[in-house]
Structure 1
Amino acid sequence: MKIQLSALHWLALLLSLLAFEKKTLGQENVPVYRVRGMLEDSLSGQALDFITINLLEANETPVKAGYTKSDGTFTLAGVREGRYTLLAVGVGYKARRIPLLVSGNSANAIDLGKILLGPETVGLKELKVTATRQIVRQEVDRITYDLQADPESKVNSVLDMMRKVPYLALDADNNIVMKGSTDFRILINGKPSSMVERNYKEVLRTIPASTIERIEVITTPPAKYDAEGLAGIINIITNKKLDNGYNGSVNVSERFPAGGPSLGGSFSVKTGKLGMTAMAGANIYNTPSARTWIDRNTIGTDPTFLWQQGSASEDSRGGYFGYEVSYELDTLNLISGQFNLNGNRTKGQRDQSSRLTGEKDVLQQYFLDNRNEGRGRGMDASLNYQKAFRADKNRLLTFSYRYYSFGNDMATALSISDRIDYDLPDYRQVNDQKFAEQTFQLDYVYPIKKWTMEAGLKAILRKNNSDFQHRSWDADKGEFETDPLMSNRFTNEQNVYGAYNTYQYNLKNWSFKAGARLEQTIMTADFVSSETFVKQNYLNLIPSASISRKFKKNNNGINLGYTQRIQRPGIYKLNPFVDRSNPNFERTGNPNLRNELVNDLQLSYNQAKKGSFNISIGGMFFRDLIFQVSTYDAATGINRTTYGNTGSARLLMTQMSFNYPITKKWSYNMNARVAHGKVTGTVNGVTITNSGIMAQVFAATSYRFEKSWRLNANISAYNGGINLQGKSNGASFTSFSGSKDLMKDQLSLSVSVNNPFRKFRTDRRTTSGPDFMQTSFRNDYFRSFNLSVNYKFGKLKDAVKKNKRGIRNDDVQNGG
């Protein structure tokens, strides 16, 4: 069934592509014309940039599209004879329609002169031209997905919408995968945020997609960004252009049986020179009890078989609050600040039966009751000062400071019963982690005609602390005693000093961007209890370059990008705390880890006519890659997993995204990725190589009925993944949703059902080594239902100014 569906999608894609390229005979001698003009604000007379220009035929079908440059000018080339309507659309402005006759009586260049746009004062009338709004847009170093142009943003969370964004996908655990990698950085409005630096899934599934303007996937990050994030950067844009007045949105939703209620919203206000934006949300996410089991076979002189089976459930509560404020001292000086808070609490329960057998007899057996609690909290605050210059207001000097911290406390209580030849006492584990960071940054932007130069300096001062304790039950004393050999206090300091310089040159149809970033990292680790000390010092020169060529005649273009990226290990991978929540399997970090490095080369082609199409080919080549390494200890019967810079890898891939309006009411889009990966590393002194093909496909269709009804259907599938010592199984997902506007452009109701045909899904992962083979299973709730209500309100006038530069700490990996 999966193969048949995929074949239908590829057939639809092929037919659409053929339609794009269809040409008729005898057109070579038909004259073509150029239409040009300039857009200005009707009140201030200011030139308007990035205003969308559409050339429509009599049936409202767009035949040409473009946007105004920084001086307000635009040009549409390759226009054939006929009657058209020129449509100018910009957020915060009334749409302007101009009848246009292009004929043999016209000059080859039709100059419309100055076109004035008036501010929009009633609602969001630009939604009337949603059918011509481009969902996916390619730029020289990134690709952008417009959530406001996608009707499913009314019912889905930001995390759900990631499946539809080119270069992104979600795995079975709802982890984001970018170009096949889970090593990337997430920014909000171009800046790091504590909301997504610690556990992005908890927050992104709380944020309603209706409050987000767009998602940028920066595939070739320029040198101004920190060098970390192997696959690239995901930038979530929330701050829409704001006018004098206020606007906001509120979203309430309920998901069950796995999930729970959530509430989120945003509010923006501008009065004179002062502008403020706030966003907040909270959710309850309950995971009902699900079955788990593990099979492990060992080989050697005394082969064994371990069987474990049980169930696990978890309840979580989370919330976030974000606030931005900016004040325009005058036309040249701007001050802005940002403040974010977030927190979450989890409670989990797991029971497990375990039996270890030899060739004939039961070697040991027990029943484990595991109760765990976790509490996390994070905050960050930043202050920015931006100065422009009278000679050129696009020439900017910015000073920025940021403070960021988070804490994560975990406690686990394990009770063991029904013992057979198993004498491990009951025990408790506590791990309190704290992270603090200060950042100082200076940025300078200097445009010279078609050139733009950027340069900057940056210092990041980080400090990690971990206090972990292991307490075992002492039957003689009748209490839990701390075991000093299994407890320790760990301090890690990581200071990064960087400087960058980048240049961009824009011609009529070409864009060039290139630069380099120099970063020095000084890291120390101190184990207080064991009195051991680790120090590392390394220097990295990180180049990046991208080239873009636009072919305006067919609204298409090509992009070529190269960058080198690094990934510094975060506290989760450095922390030597030993997790013994399953006595037969121990996990720990490695404070001796070095940074990873990747060379990334991508070539892409994009086309935007009636629909949009993007395809890319490329390769990622990894060095000193950090792998999870699992080894078996025959003396204790325990598998121990840690991290090591043990390997190298290469990933060759082709990615495609396609969006096409079949009719004015019916649209179709598709994302697909096929890659071949090969990893090589060392486990217990033995070199291991694993390779395979990884494929993912996502397809969606949407139909808009009369009276503001809309139906959506999605299907996605992937064939699993590989790692150094094993692989995971694939999965397919389906989703159906419907929405109804109860109050036009203000109040909407949405419902959805995910995976209606399957209640559970089994996640299977295999791991092997020279002397063992292990398979773990988890049965997760798959079917879910969602109800969502979204309300928008506001009354707006002039646009808010915000800092064009700020702190971006996208260089450290804290995820697992």
Structure 2
Amino acid sequence: MKLKITLILMLWLAGIYVSHAQSLAERNIIKGRLIDSLTRKPAEFVTVALKNSNNKQIKTVVSRTDGAFVITDVQPGKFIINFTLIGYTGKSLNILMDGSKPLDLGDVAINASAREIKAVVVKATQPIIKQEADRIAYDIQADPASKFSSVLEMMRKVPLVTIDAEDNIQVSGNSAYRIFINGKPSSLLERNPKDVLKSMPASSIQKIEVITTPPSKYDAEGLAGIINIITNKTIDDGYSANIGLNERLPAGGPSIGGSFTTKSGKFGLSAFGGASSFGNPLTTSSVLRKSKSVSPSALVQAGGQKSDSQNAYLGMELSYEIDSLNLISGQFNLNGGKGTGQSSQSSVLRNDTTVTQQYSLLTDNDNIGKGADLAINYQKGYRRNKNQLTTFSYRYYGFANNQNADQLFNNRVNYTLPDFRQANKSVMSEHTVQLDQVYPVNKINVEAGAKIIVRFNESDFQYLSQDAGGNYLTDPSKTNTFNNRQTIWAGYNSYQYNINNWSVKAGVRVENTDVGANFLSTASQVSQNYFSIIPAVALSRRFNTTGISFGWNQRIQRPGINQLNPFVDRSNPIFETSGNPDLRPTKGNQLRLGFNWAAKGSLVASLNYNWIQGLIFPVSVYDEVSNITRTRFENTGTAKALGGNINFNYPLTQAWNLSMNGGLMHGWATGVSNGKPIKNHGFMFNANVASSLKLNSGWRTGVNIFADGGRLTVQQHSNAYISTAFNVSKDIIKDKLTFSAFTNNPYKRYRLNVTNSFGPNFNQISRDQQNFSAFGASLNYKFGKLKESIKKNKRGITNDDISN
């Protein structure tokens, strides 16, 4: 009842506000609706320019997805309106505005170009960044670097997104986010997205959205929001494709990726795929841990490691239009990968100057995993209201992963742990059923829906210890079989209201999660049930060349299988890590105030404040008796962060462009370790500056400088670093075939990553040598034959919950 009253009150307040705004701006507006003269369908994203009698441009707006446009605050007089869109012939209208009432132009038909466009010369700069009330979109195709870059490399330029030297992705400084492809989750990006994004050519995607305030129709998973990669495009009877080949050395390897889109009549197909091989040459690492006990000790470990991995992926989306009101669509994704690694380590423990323990360790490990998801959606439209939709969806997702490691000791001093093997087999499967309804009521767009998710996680981990005869026998005390089941019931209701240049989005989502876990080997169980109410509000206002936005939302982060799995990783016996089946979800709040400007260049700036309760983080506890540091995920943390982000893009000349993407944040984190409170705070920053220069004969060169101020968690902080990249590219066949070469950090072969960790009774410094210098080349080819212009689809079906 309280929820219903709250929603009614929100609508009532919005109605009062809108009525007041309408009374002020009821007159002196020009409005209309743009349609395709042939298909009679709405023409979206058409540039509408208002000029005075002297042909001087006064205002510019862009038509919405339903073709409607509104020009406000127009004083009485004679004007000219121009309508322009690539693929259509331009159109102009002479109008007279007397100021006594709004001027409604009704349906304005524009004609598609009758001949094939051989070449297009764009005089104005295509805007790269577009901001809405709840998201920021980066137009990849408007950036020339997309011809020769991977998706991961292009993400460095996307507002609010950070890619560090190890290619780890963060959104607003947070690693708890979701990645979708075309508005839907994909098994390709669930476990290790950076491997896929490295091999995916940027030329195969249209844009990247950062959904900062996800509407209530999206699942509440992901504290920082959602990264949505738009790859598919609907074409009218034809096909388009592209393929990219890349090579990266010394750390890296060859990769291939591409996409294909076709449509014939009522049938459409969009597919993308790729494969890569990644080699990480030998690097060194060291750890220095000092205890704070009455009898202090010092542990020194040093060693080296190398690894190799291969992965491949294939994604496919299909659609069939039964008629103008009924659509069937589906998706199918496959991915797999495997890897091997070897490491050596020496470990020495001292009390004062006396060696109390010593050993050398050789580790040989391998892993293999595969995943798949399958979805089918039915969408029904209605003749009485073409914006009303009902969608029914089903999705299956599953993956399996096997990890194995052999540990061999020698050079022992006071160390009796025998050689051992450990193996962990984990399997995850999920079934989801969802029903969505979109129903416009006057000028309010109402969305409602319900969802059921049933998820199963299984883990079988074994520890085998070598006996005196050289045989490996299972150790029951360190072996277990773990089953975890989650059932999630969810419902949402959201509202969107657009008036003139204002946009208001508000909604609420409710989720009930039931969790059951069984430990078969120890005959113990865990049972949990929690209910969550997640509101979201987004507001934006567009002016001529600027806009402002405000957003507030709550998000939750359910623990993933790796965080729940009690498997104890003893690959470094002095540092044990494990999951925690008792974990509960983390709840976070985010306030965001944004500003954007778009004219010759673009500027997007935002101020953010985040606070998180029940933070899931790895708690490290040092045991002075066994001299082992044990790390386990806990819910004992809280975190707050205040900061801002800025993205600036400006064409210095027609051939020379400059862009900057960065953020500054101060974070406060608290937790509990070994029964005692701990806290950490400090500034975190990152900045990416890129410049590109277009030369003659299809040549282009660019430079990229990235600075990172280090990461901060409850028990850790890492060092700062600067990275540089240089690239050059050549259009061999204009807009078809492009060759490029690059070098990263050519002056420095390795980078030393220094991480400081601490607890109530220890301090620790870890130094990891990482391959920093790299060089490589790529070849990208686009081809296809289109009978008509490319158009974007209006709506996608979302089915988007899964634990990371």
Q: Scaled by the length of structure 1, what TM-score is found?
A: 0.90
Report SS of the residue matched to 2:801: coil
State the AA in 1 paired with 2:482.
F
CA contact (8 A) 1:121 1:796 kept: no
The separation in 1 between residues aligned to 2:241 and 2:424, in whole angstroms, is 40
Q: Return closer, same or farther for 1:403/1:707 CA change in 2, 3 Å cut-off.
A: same
Distance in 2 between the 1:71 and 1:429 partners?
A: 58
- Judge conservation of contact 2:730–2:739 (CA < 8 Å) in 1: yes
1:202 to 195, 213, 216: 195
Counterpart residue number, 2:731: 741
2:45 pairs with 1:47: no
1:89 equivalenced with 2:85 (yes/no):
yes
The residue aligned with 1:571 is 561
Tell me, what secondary structure is at the counterpart of 2:141? helix
| 1:116-156: CA deviation from partner (whole Å, max 9, x where unpaired) | 23157646856x32852110000110000011111111222
Question: Which has the higher mean CA deviation after the structures are superposed, 131-140 or 216-225?
Answer: 131-140
Q: Could you tell me how far apart the structure 1 residues matched to 2:401 and 2:756 are?
A: 30
Mapped contact 1:38–1:113 kept (Cα < 8 A): yes
Distance in 2, Cα, partners of 1:134 & 1:112: 28
Between 1:702-711 and 1:484-493, the stretch displaced more is 702-711
Residue of structure 2 in register with 1:7 after alignment: none
CA drift at 1:699: 1.1
Query: Could you tell me how far apart the structure 1 residues matched to 2:393 and 2:104 are?
Result: 47
Distance 1:745 1:222, change over 3 A: same
Equivalent residue for 1:144? Answer: 137
Tell me whether 98-107 or 775-784 shows the greater mean CA deviation: 98-107
Cα displacement string for residues 242-295 of structure 1 (whole angstroms, at most 9, x for unaligned residues): 221111100111111111100001111110000011111000011111111111
For the residue of structure 1 that corresponds to 2:223, the secondary structure is coil
Partner secondary structure for residue 235 of structure 2: coil
Cα distance in 2 for partners of 1:56, 1:696 equals 42
Per-residue CA distance 1:462-486 (angstroms, 9 max, x = gap): 000000000011123x211110110
Cα contact 1:55–1:87 (8 A) shared by 2? no
Q: By how many angstroms is 1:430 displaced?
A: 0.3
Instruction: Note the 1:509-658 alignment, pairs <5 A.
Output: 509-552=501-544, 555-658=545-648
Q: Is the 8 A contact 2:233 2:261 kept in 1?
A: no
Q: Is the 8 A contact 2:313 2:336 kept in 1?
A: yes
Equivalents in 1 of 2:495, 2:407: separation in Å?
58
SS of the equivalent of 1:392 reads coil
Amino acid at match of 1:695: F
State which of 249, 270, 281 in structure 1 corresponds to 2:263: 270
For the 8 Å contact 1:187–1:808, the answer to whether it is kept is no
For residue 414 of structure 2, what is the aligned residue in structure 1? Answer: 421
1:804 to 792, 795, 800: 795
* 1:116 maps to which of 86, 110, 117: 110
CA deviation string 1:607-647 (max 9, x = no partner)? 11111111111200110001110011111111000010011
Report if aligned partners of 1:227, 1:811 keep a CA contact under 8 Å in 2.
no
2:273 counterpart residue number:
280
1:658-694 deviations in whole A, cap 9, x for unaligned?
1111221111111121111001111111111111011
Equivalent in the alignment of 1:500: 492
Could you say if the C-alpha distance between residues 520 and 111 of structure 1 is closer, same or farther in structure 2, counting changes exceeding 3 Å? closer
SS in 1 for 2:122: helix
Question: Cα deviations across residues 736-766 of structure 1 (Å, max 9, x unaligned)?
Answer: 1121111111111111111222211111111
Name 1:764's counterpart in structure 2: 754
CA distance in 2, matches of 1:764, 1:732: 14
Deviations 1:534-582 (A, max 9, x none): 0000100111111111113xx2111110000110001000000000011
Please name the residue that 2:341 is paired with: 348
Counterpart-to-counterpart distance in 2, 1:800 and 1:644: 48
Quickly say closer, same or farther: Cα 1:78–1:671, change in 2 above 3 A: farther
In the alignment, is the contact (CA less than 8 A) between 1:85 and 1:97 conserved in 2?
Answer: no
Paired residues of 1:402 and 1:807 also in contact (CA < 8 A): no
Q: Secondary structure at the match of 1:594?
A: coil
2:67 and 2:212 map into 1 onto residues whose CA distance is 28
Q: Secondary structure at the match of 1:231?
A: coil
CA contact (8 A) 2:393 2:799 kept: no
In structure 1, the partner of 2:326 is 333
Counterpart among 365, 376, 382 of residue 358 in structure 2:
365
Q: Which runs of 5+ in 2 are unaligned?
A: 1-27
Higher relative contact order (CA 8 A, sep 6+): 1
2:386 alignment partner, SS class: strand
- Cα 1:464–1:130 change in 2 (3 A) is farther
How do residues 217-366 of structure 1 correspond to structure 2 at under 5 angstroms? 217-366=210-359
Secondary structure in structure 2 of the residue aligned to 1:721: coil
**Residues 1:474 and 2:483 aligned together:** no
Contact 2:187 2:371 in 1 (8 A): yes
Going from structure 1 to structure 2, the CA distance change for 1:348 and 1:800 (only over 3 Å counts) comes to same
Q: Aligned pair in 2 of structure 1 residues 83, 805: CA closer, same or farther (>3 Å)? A: closer
1:403 corresponds to 2:414: no
Q: State how far apart, in whole Å, the 1-side matches of 2:467 and 2:40 are.
A: 81
**C-alpha displacement of 1:40:** 3.1
Change (3 A) 1:106 1:385: closer
- Number of the residue aligned with 1:14: none
Does the CA contact (< 8 Å) of 2:72 and 2:500 recur in 1?
A: no
Contact residue 710 and residue 721 of structure 2 kept, 8 A: yes
User: Any idea what SS the aligned residue of 1:569 has?
Assistant: coil
What is the aligned length?
772
Paired AA for residue 732 in structure 1: I
Name the stretch that deviates more: 116-125 or 275-284.
Answer: 116-125
| Match for residue 479 of structure 2 among 487, 504, 507 | 487
Task: Give the share of equivalent positions with the same residue, in percent.
Answer: 45
For residues 449 and 190 of structure 2, the distance between their equivalents in structure 1, rounded to whole angstroms, comes to: 23
State the 1:774 CA deviation.
Answer: 0.8
Normalised to the residue count of structure 2, the TM-score between the two structures is 0.92
Counterparts in 2 of 1:63 and 1:578: CA distance versus 1, 3 Å: farther
Q: Is the 8 A contact 1:647 1:679 kept in 2?
A: yes
Deviation at 1:241, TM superposition (A): 3.1
Q: Secondary structure at the match of 1:724?
A: coil
CA contact (8 A) 2:182 2:796 kept: no
Contact 1:215 1:236 in 2 (8 A): yes
Measured in 2, the distance between the counterparts of 1:169 and 1:689 equals 25
Preserved contact between residue 459 and residue 565 of structure 2 (Cα < 8 Å): yes
Quote the offset at 1:511 in angstroms.
Answer: 0.8
Q: In 2, distance between residues paired with 1:771 and 1:437?
A: 42
| 1:539 aligned partner, one-letter code | F
- Contact 1:388/1:394, CA 8 A, preserved across alignment: yes
Shift of 1:232: 0.5
Residue 4 of structure 1: aligned partner: none
| d(CA) in 2 for partners of 1:470, 1:506 | 60
Provide structure 1 residue ranges, at least 5 long, that are not aligned to the other structure. 1-32
Residue 69 (str. 1) matches residue 64 (str. 2): yes
Q: What amino acid is the match of 1:535?
A: S
Aligned to 2:294, what secondary structure does the other structure show?
coil
Measure, in 1, the Cα distance between the counterparts of 2:208 and 2:277.
25
The residue number in structure 2 matching 1:26 is none
CA offset digits 1:55-97 (Å, max 9, x no partner): 899xx9998543113453435568999999946124xx24x34
Q: What letter matches 1:780 in structure 2? A: Q
Are 1:727 and 2:713 matched, yes or no? no
